[in-house]
Amino acid sequence: MNQPSASTDIRRDLVALLPRLRRFALTLTGGASEADELVREIAGRAIQKSHHWKGEGRLENWLFSMMRSAWADEAKKRRRMDPDLVDVGSAAESRKPSNFVLNLPDGLASAFLLVDVEGFTYAEAAAILGIQPDLFAARLCAARLDLAAAGARTSERRA
């Protein structure tokens, strides 16, 4: 009887994580097509580099960190090519209630998603984003305050 290889296990687990990866990619990119492209890139990279993941810790931490690094690297490349370019994730296209989380300023949407939606601890989420836990806590607080204010504005308009 053959033992399944690590890449087979990663592929199986990767499929289960695709919706979560896409939600996180949306907070980074701000657009569905860019998010889908980022998820495809990270899924391919994870399969190619599956030998680097030793099965210690949570696979999603590794994948989310890989995604954040890839997006940061891509953003640096875009800024070098066109310094006047506005980052897609930072431009709020609309303030519809369904887009409140995606329209949070840079870094805030990801902080909110990782803790309040995905259930990561502050320390895990800070590691995924590559920032200090105290900075992460400040971003999460700012995200929650911004969402609360947006909810209050929406409630006042409906009344």
Q: Looking at this protein, which amino acid is placed at residue 120?
A: F
Are 77 and 22 members of one domain? yes
Note the pTM of the prediction, 2 decimals: 0.68
The pLDDT value given to residue 152:
66
Residues of the chain with pLDDT under 50: 1-8, 87-97, 159
The pLDDT value given to residue 94:
41
The domain of 101 spans 92-159
Cα 98 to chain centroid distance, Å, stands at 17
The pLDDT value given to residue 93:
41
CA distance 96 to 71: 25
Are 97 and 67 members of one domain? no
- Specify the residue for token string 């990866």: 21
143 and 109 Cβ atoms separated by less than 8 Å: yes
What six digits make up the tokens of 8?
């087979």
Q: What is the CATH number of the domain that holds 63?
A: 1.10.1740
Are 128 and 159 members of one domain? yes
The pLDDT value given to residue 158:
52
The pLDDT value given to residue 97:
44
The pLDDT value given to residue 131:
93
Residue 58 neighbours by CB under 8 Å, 6+ apart? 124
